Structure formats: structure tokens, C-alpha cells
């Protein structure tokens, strides 16, 4: 998984080690993200509304901070993750060692548009700070719609919110790109809401 496709949001190649964590720079970016994205993950955990026995998929788990919250603060039965970076898979495995050993957290290599999961096999899907990196927005959303069960939810969050920090102010998406995400979700999901949380803009879609 070493290709470097362009982002649908910018049209340009994605080269940042935060978006393509590879090698030493990628591992350093992962350590940085572990600390800087904590507030985003707290915000998103609340919006996810995980119920006991839920099967959850995180797309683009990075160093595994949200996986750790899911494993320690919810009663989700199954927590799966896909991310194209082998470096992030190693970091997220270290951060969730006990839950991985117990078989509650399973981390794979994959992308938003190729998760490798079966149809309708999860109750919740979540993606934090990675939608704008995807090469093809619509292909990613179609895949997430495929893997979530009818009545299940997909939550997509990106830097922004009503009290963005310095990094989020720089990375937040312009209104037309946020509208494009909402429109693309509305074409395939039954119910779509857009929420501004403290540090992230969030889309919640029900299949
Ligand atoms: C900025 S990091 C965010 C990581 C984590 N969600 C967090 O909030 O700390 C972006 C992550 O998205 C992953 N990624 C890049 N392209 C992706 C794609 N097409 N589908 C899913 N994940 C992708 C990267 O490998 C990286 O781990």
C-alpha cells in the first residue's frame, strides 16, 4: 500500500507524513498525532453513541487513540480498524496491546474504499481526520455504506468545530467541500446530520 494518490478535496498529491505515515517521519508523525488528536477523539466518542455489543469499524486509525477509548470506555463487542500504513498498524497495536491480544481489537491494512469487510458486518463506522485524504470521496462512502448494517451509523469527522485549535484552523475544510461531503452522504444514506463539536466538524449518517 505504498501508492500516493491525490486527495479529492485538494486535487493535489498527499505527501504529509501525517496523511501518509511511512518510515521514521511517519512514526514521529504518529507520536505527535497521539497527543494532538485527543480532543477530537473525545468529541467523536460522544457522537458515536456506542451501545453494548456493537461491532465498530474505525477507518484510518493512525496511532490508535480512538481505538483505545473504544476498548476502554465502551462495551463494544468487536472493534476493527483499517489503515493503509504499516507503521500506524504497529503503533496502534502497541497502544492497544491487551485488547488486540484478547481478540477484541483487530487491526488490518486497508483503505476507506477497500476495507476488506463483509457486507453489513458492522453497526458503527467512524473516521477521524482522514476523509479529506481519501482519493475518491464517493467510492469511500459507498464502501462504508456497504459494510454498515441497515439502521447502523457512519460518523465522519474532520478538523474544525466551534473551538478549533491552531492545527484545526489551518486544516479545516472550506464550506463547499463540507457541502460536498454532506451531498454525497445524502445520495446513499437515509438520514444525514452535520454537527459542529468542539474540535471537529462531524457528519452522522444512518443507513
Ligand atoms: C491525520 S491521520 C489521523 C489518524 C487518527 N484518525 C487520529 O485522529 O489520530 C490520517 C490517517 O489516515 C490514514 N489514511 C490515509 N489514506 C487513507 C485512506 N484512503 N483510507 C483510510 N485511511 C487512510 C493514514 O495512514 C493516517 O493514519
Atom of ligand 1 nearest to the CA of 65: 9
CATH number of residue 76's parent domain: 3.40.50.150
For residue 172, the CA-to-ligand 1 centroid distance in Å is 15
Atom of ligand 1 nearest to the CA of 128: 6
* Digit-coded pLDDT (tens) for 69-86: 999 999 999 999 999 999
Helix (H) or strand (E) segment spanning residue 42: helix 38-48
For residue 84, report the phi and psi dihedrals to the nearest 5 degrees. Answer: -75, -10
For residue 17, the CA-to-ligand 1 centroid distance in Å is 10
Task: State the virtual CA torsion across 115, 41, 162, 6 in degrees, nearest 10.
Answer: -30
Helices (H) and strands (E) in the chain, counts: 8, 7
* Digit-coded pLDDT (tens) for 163-202: 998 888 999 999 999 999 999 999 999 999 999 999 999 9
- Please report the pLDDT score of residue 84 as a whole number: 97
63 located within any domain = yes
Residue-wise over 85-112: b if at least 16 C-beta within 10 A, else e? bebbbebbbebbeebbeeebbebeebbb
- Please report the pLDDT score of residue 30 as a whole number: 94
- Please report the pLDDT score of residue 5 as a whole number: 84
- Best residue among 6, 19, 20, 201 to mutate for probing ligand 1, ranked by most atoms within 8 Å of CB: 19
Atom of ligand 1 nearest to the CA of 84: 25
pLDDT band at 4 (very low <50, low <70, confident <90, very high): confident
14 located within any domain = no
Look at the chain and report how many structural domains it folds into: 1
pLDDT band at 2 (very low <50, low <70, confident <90, very high): very low
C-beta of 76 in contact with ligand 1 (< 6 A): no
12 located within any domain = no
Radius of gyration for the chain, computed over Cα atoms and rounded to the nearest angstrom:
15
27 located within any domain = yes
Domain range for 53 is 23-194
Whole-angstrom Cα distance, residue 143 to residue 114?
7
1 located within any domain = no
* Digit-coded pLDDT (tens) for 107-124: 999 999 999 999 999 999
Given a contact cutoff of 8 angstroms between Cβ atoms, the answer to whether 112 and 59 are in contact is yes
200 located within any domain = no
Whole-angstrom Cα distance, residue 7 to residue 132?
6
Weakest mean pLDDT among 2-11, 150-159, 164-173: 2-11
- Please report the pLDDT score of residue 3 as a whole number: 62
31 located within any domain = yes
17 located within any domain = no
Amino acid at each position: 500500500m505504498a501508492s500516493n494518490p491525490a486527495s479529492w478535496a485538494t486535487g493535489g498529491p498527499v505527501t504529509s507524513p501525517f496523511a501518509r505515515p511511512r518510515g521514521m517521519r511517519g512514526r514521529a508523525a504518529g507520536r505527535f498525532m497521539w497527543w494532538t488528536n485527543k480532543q477530537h477523539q473525545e468529541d467523536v466518542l460522544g457522537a458515536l453513541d456506542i451501545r453494548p455489543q456493537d461491532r465498530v469499524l474505525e477507518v484510518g486509525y493512525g496511532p490508535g487513540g480512538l481505538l483505545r477509548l473504544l476498548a476502554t470506555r465502551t462495551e463494544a463487542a468487536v472493534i476493527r480498524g483499517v489503515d493503509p500504513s504499516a507503521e500506524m498498524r504497529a503503533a496502534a497495536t502497541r497502544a492497544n496491546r491487551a485488547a488486540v491480544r484478547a481478540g477484541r481489537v483487530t487491526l488490518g491494512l486497508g483503505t476507506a474504499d477497500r476495507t476488506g469487510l463483509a457486507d453489513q458486518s458492522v453497526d458503527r463506522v467512524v473516521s477521524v481526520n482522514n476523509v479529506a485524504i481519501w482519493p475518491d470521496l464517493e467510492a469511500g462512502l459507498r464502501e462504508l455504506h456497504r459494510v454498515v448494517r441497515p439502521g447502523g451509523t457512519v460518523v465522519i469527522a474532520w478538523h474544525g468545530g466551534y473551538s478549533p485549535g491552531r492545527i484545526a484552523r489551518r486544516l479545516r475544510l472550506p464550506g463547499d467541500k463540507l457541502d460536498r461531503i454532506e451531498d454525497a452522504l445524502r445520495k446513499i444514506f437515509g438520514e444525514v446530520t452535520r454537527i459542529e463539536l468542539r474540535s471537529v466538524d462531524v457528519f452522522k449518517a444512518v443507513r
